[in-house]
Each structure stands twice: as structure tokens, then as C-alpha cells.
Chains A and B, each alone.
Chain A
Amino acid sequence: MADELMPRSSENGLGKANEAKMPITNTEPATFTKQLLGFWVTFKSIFKKVNTVQYPEVKEPTAPRFHGRHQLNRHPDGLEKCIGCELCAWACPADAIYVEGADNKEGEQFSPGERYGKVYQINYLRCVFCGLCIEACPTRALTMTNEYELADSTREKLIFEKEDLLGPLRAGMLPPPHPMYPNTTDANYYRGEVTGSHPSQGEAKNA
């Protein structure tokens, strides 16, 4: 172990780097004719197709895994996946997420299990879209969409509340609060054994 603590010797220090005969290319200035070729490059470019996208009128799709606005997901019966554990808030390097958890009560069940996220805020003036919150989330409640148009005129408007972040109610989903699927625990939910809502959980508001 002693030799690992030795100071840098010429074998692996700066001296070594100097000794290494790094091939240096382009030491000679380009010839005059070569320099003239540059003019042809720019002239040719005038007639090339431009790369500009006329943004507000034309929108190009993002990369499939682009980090956009967050979304709070739901279980197939409509209950929220968020359990208010605050791991996302702890993971956030920019301190952009604020979560307040609360207990699910009888008749006021928002998520399977004991706890749910009562207050959920993301401040998009702080968020750096790094995705660490998504990695931290134990229930896959928090994911990111491809939505990138997040400009607004006031600071308040850029603090997104739970309502703004919750995903839409898809077919078969009931708006919480409603009881869990009959004869299940939260474990059944996480194993993916609940695939839709049961009539006993309530009636879908099909207006």
C-alpha cells in the first residue's frame, strides 16, 4: 500500500505528459488556395436547406425521453400513486418540490395504504429537470411528460399545485377519494393486481 501513497513521479506525473510525443497536426497555416475554399463553403450554404424551425407555428416532437413537466400518476382504479413520502423533495437538488403527507381516513381514501400526498407543489422556477425526483419515487407516482412550454408571466403561476400535476382520469378510473378495491391491500396494488375499478368503489361520473 505504501507505493500508492508515493508522490507523483516523472513516470506518471506532468513530466510524463511532456515526454509523450503527442502528434500535433496542422502546425502549418493553410495554403492560400485552401483558405479560398472557405469562401466556396459559405457560398454553397446559401442554397442549402435551412435548419430553422418556425417554432410557434411549427412544433417538432421532442426526443421520447425528454425531461418535461412532471405528472402524478394514478392506479388503474383512479387512486393516486403518491404516498406523501417526500423522497422526491429530499432528492431534489434545487429544492423545487414541497410535499405534505396526510393519513388516509375511512371514507376519505386518496391512495392505497396509510398515507397520501395532501399538498404537492413543484416550483418550475427552481426545477432543473434533472429527473432525480423520478428516480427517488418508490411508487412510480412521479414521472415526467414531454411538455416543455412552461413559460408564464408571474412567479405564482409557475408553482404547480397537485391539481395541475395529477394525470387525467382514464377509462375505468374513478376520481378519489373513494375506498380501495374490495378485499385488497396496498400490496395488491403494487403487484399490479388491480386492473380497474369495482362498482362498490363508487360510480364513475359519466356526465
Chain B
Amino acid sequence: MSNAELIAQDPGWIIALKSLIVFAACVVLTIMAVWGERRLVAKMQMRLGPNRVGKFGLLQGLVDGVKLALKEDLIPKGADRVVFVIAPIISVTTCFMAFAVIPISGEVSFFGYQTALQLTDLPVGVLYILATASVGVYGIVLAGWSSGSTYPLLGGLRSSAQVISYEIAMGLSLVAVFIYAGSMSTSEIVDAQSQFWYAVILFPSFIIYAISMVGETNRAPFDLAEAEGELVGGFHTEYSSLKFALFFLAEYVNIIAVSALATTLFLGGYRALPGLSFTEQWLGGWFTVVWFFAKVLFFFFIFVWLRGTLPRLRYDQFMKFGWKVLIPASLAWIMVVATLRVMTQQGSSQFLIASFIFAVVLIYFAVSATVEKSRLKLKAESQLVDVPTPDFPVPEIPKSRMEQLNG
């Protein structure tokens, strides 16, 4: 039985219980993620990180949450009060909603009912996730705008531009998955990966998704929206107390949600690693939950690793990378994948497919060669010309321009 059919038989109270579990799992994961991230980043910088509250500082996230909740709740005078309050709510609810279609386990016995740990299984599940993520941007934009202050506005603008740009690359990277799985339902995509993970056969898509998911969640090295050195706190500069805690929660739930989506679409979801499929039957199928969260935590580790390693990008470089590298690369890759898919489905000969791949490789090398050549040419043109230095102090001016001025 497919997940969709299993879930369809759920009585109401099981659906309610499942939503509670999804919600609680997200909140608990966030609290642990805050602790885990701080410990890991600290280790990467040869520090210890929080180790005071509870064993190994495990309760740090919880205590931070309590501290935030007890702080004074400020609303600036210039703020649009209604929007100011609604913005964090939009931000946090959309993050949680994305989790509704993620299949966390295979078929398990749940209080005597055979079901799967998945709240609902939409035929367009992945589209639904993209949609909620897009609505989540409103939280950030509105927060920036309603604060009635400069830095939050700039942060909000940056963030919206960023999320919208990287959503295109993200959506395009998913198209290849849809083409191969023949479905947009998350559980069917997981089932389609029973032989090969899409991270293997659609490796370029996986890489593009992995990069764009970091951009999508406003995380380092793409955390331009809350660049402390440039914009104070970005869109949440004016927020305090519980409203700030909601943004904080939203950020981490978002990270977990995109990690879960990456797990589902590229790493075989709740299924075991290749060669360990017998573990899927352990504990009456409940062991698949362990596999799912192991993969999600793997992605979370990558997030922390990126943060510990890379400096923040400059804004123009970041946009250039998104629009001029990720999106064209994604489009070209989709064309290749789609053509290959159609060829195999129409039963083209092996020779035809091989020659197509050969042609693609050839075109790739030709294009990269011309790009390299034009780059070298540009570089040669921009070489500075030596001009005699005047005998009075001058500020630094590119010397080629000096020559123009001097005649």
C-alpha cells in the first residue's frame, strides 16, 4: 500500500496526534539544533561552546528560549503595529507547514493502526513546500518594512531578493527529480529512489539544490539579510522577546525543513543506506525514523560546517552567482536530463543516446573554452599601463585612467 492510501485511512484523532508530533519534533529539534550548532562551531574554532546548563550544556537552547520569552517586548513608535506583530507569525507558521508533507517513516503500527508518519500526502507535495517557503518570505519582508527603521528595511529587501533569486534555482533543480520520479508527491519520490538515490544519478541537481537551500534559509555564507557587520540584525533588528524568538525558531525550523526536503528528494528519505535495507524492518518499521533523522542531521552538520568555514559573500557576488551560474547551469542540466529521459522512454538506440551524451560533453568543453578565452582577453585589456608618477601627492587612481586624463 502506498503512503497516500495508508494516510487516507487515518481517523481524526491520529491526524491530530501526528500534527502535534510534527510540531513538537520541530520545536525540540530547534532547541537541540541551537545547542548542537553552537557546540560544533565552537569545536571548529577550538573552543568548548555552551557546557554549563545541564549535562554538556544540553539545556542551553531551552534556557535561551525562556530567557527570550521573559525579555521586555518592545514595539518601536514608528512601527506599523499590526503588521509588526503578524510578520513573525507568518514566518513561523509557514515553516511548520512545510513539514506536513514530509514522510518521516515507512509503514508502521501507530496505536494499533497501520499508517505512515506523514501528516498528509499531496499529489503536488513538493510544489506545496515551495509555495509555503515563498509565503514565508512575506514574514521577512513585512518585518523589515513594518519596523519603520532603515536597517530592517534594507535587511528585508536583501532577504526577499535573495530568497526569490535562489528559489528559482531551487525550483529548477527539483525539475530533474520530477522528471525521473514522474511525480511531485514526496512519498512517491521516496519510493522511486528504492534503487538509486537521486543524489547519485542527478548529482548536478543535488549540488544546485544544496547550494540554493543555504541561500533560501539565509544562512552563512549567504546570511546577507542579517549581516551583523553591515545591517545590525537585518530584518529583525527591532524585534525583541517572544517575537524575536519566533524568528529564531522560524530560521531553525526552516533549516530543518529544507534538510528534510533534501533528504526526501535526493537521499532516499526514510529508507536505509544502500545495503542496509534489512534495518528498515527493525522495531516494526520504526527504525526508518532513525534513518530519516540521521540524514536530516547530516545536512544540518553541513550547514554548521559551512558556517564555520566560509566568510560571508559580497552582495553583488552572491546575486551574480545565483543568476549567472546556478540558474543557467540548472536550465542546461534540465534540458539534458529531459532529452535523455524522452530518448529512453521512446526506446532510442544505445548508439543515439551515447552520441547525445558525447555531443553534450563536447558542447560543454567548447563553451567553457570560449568563456575562458574571453576572460583572459578581458584580463589582458585591463592590465594597468605604467605612467610616470607626478611629483605631487595624489590619491590612488587606476593608472590606465590617469593616462586618459593626461591625454
Chain A positions within 8 Å of B, measured between CB atoms, are: 8-10, 13-15, 18-19, 38-39, 41-43, 45-46, 48-52
Contact A9 B391 (CB under 8 A): yes
Given A50-B46, A50-B47, A10 and B309 contact (CB-CB distance below 8 Å): no
Q: Which 3 A-B pairs have the closest CB atoms?
A: A14-B393, A10-B391, A52-B48
Chain A contacts for B394, CB-based, 8 A: 14-15, 18
Asked whether A15 lies within 8 Å of B46 as measured between CB atoms, the reply is no
A127 to B309, CA, bound (A): 40
In the complex formed, the residue of A with least CB distance to B43 is A46
State A145–B308 Cα separation when bound (angstroms).
Answer: 40
A15 to chain B: which residues have CB within 8 Å?
389-394
Among B305-333, those with CB < 8 Å from A are 305, 308-310
Q: List 10 A-B contacts (CB under 8 A).
A: A10-B389, A15-B393, A18-B394, A18-B396, A19-B389, A42-B305, A43-B44, A45-B44, A46-B44, A52-B47
Q: Which residues of B contact A18 (CB under 8 A)?
A: 389, 394, 396
Query: B19-48: contact bitstring with A at CB < 8 Å (1 yes, 0 no)?
Result: 000000000000000000000101111111
Interface of B is mostly: loop
Which residues from B are CB-within-8-Å of A49?
46
Distance of B317 from chain A, by nearest CB (Å): 11
User: Number of B interface residues, CB 8 Å?
Assistant: 19
Residues of A within 8 A of B396 (CB): 18
Check if B390 sits within 8 Å of A39, measured CB to CB.
no
How distant is B102 from chain A, measured CB to nearest CB, in Å?
28
Q: In the complex, which of the residues B43, B309, B393 contacts A50, with contact meaning CB atoms closer than 8 Å?
A: B43
B-side residues, CB < 8 A to A, are 40, 42-48, 305, 308-310, 389-394, 396
A13 contact set on B, CB distance < 8 A: 393
Partner pick for A39 among B42, B305, B392, CB 8 A cutoff: B305
Contact A45 B46 (CB under 8 A): yes
Residue of A nearest to B45 (CB): A45
Q: A-B pairs with CB below 8 Å: how many?
A: 48
- Which residues of chain B are near A14, meaning CB under 8 Å? 393-394
Identify the closest chain B residue to A51 (Cβ): B46
| Inter-chain contacts of A48 with B (CB < 8 A) | 46
How many angstroms from the CA of A39 to the CA of B302 in the assembled complex? 10
Distance (whole angstroms) from the CB of B390 to the closest CB of chain A? 7
> Which residue, of A9, A42, A48, has the highest number of chain B Cβ atoms within 10 A?
A42
A13–B394 Cα distance when bound, in Å, is: 10
- Min Cβ gap A36→B in Å is 10
Whole-angstrom distance between the alpha carbons of A49 and B46 in the complex?
7
Give the shortest distance, in Å, between A57 (CB) and chain B (any CB).
11
Nearest-neighbour CB distance to chain B for A6, whole angstroms, equals: 13
B48 touches A42 (CB 8 A): no
Whether A50 lies near B305 (C-beta < 8 A) is no
Bound complex: CA A13 to CA B390 (Å): 11
Chain A contacts for B43, CB-based, 8 A: 45-46, 50
Q: Is the CB of B310 within 8 A of A38?
A: yes
- In the complex, what's the smallest C-beta–C-beta distance from B40 to chain A, in angstroms? 7
Bound CA–CA A18/B402 (angstroms): 14
Q: How far is the CB of A169 from chain B (nearest CB, A)?
A: 41
Report how far A6 CA is from B197 CA in the complex, Å. Answer: 77
Q: Which A residues touch B390, using CB under 8 A?
A: 10, 15
> By the criterion CB–CB under 8 Å, are B308 and A42 in contact?
yes
CB-CB under 8 A from B46, the residues of chain A are: 45, 48-51
Distance of A51 Cα from B42 Cα, bound (Å): 10
Q: Which A residues are CB-close (under 8 A) to B47? A: 50-52
Residues of A within 8 A of B389 (CB): 10, 15, 18-19
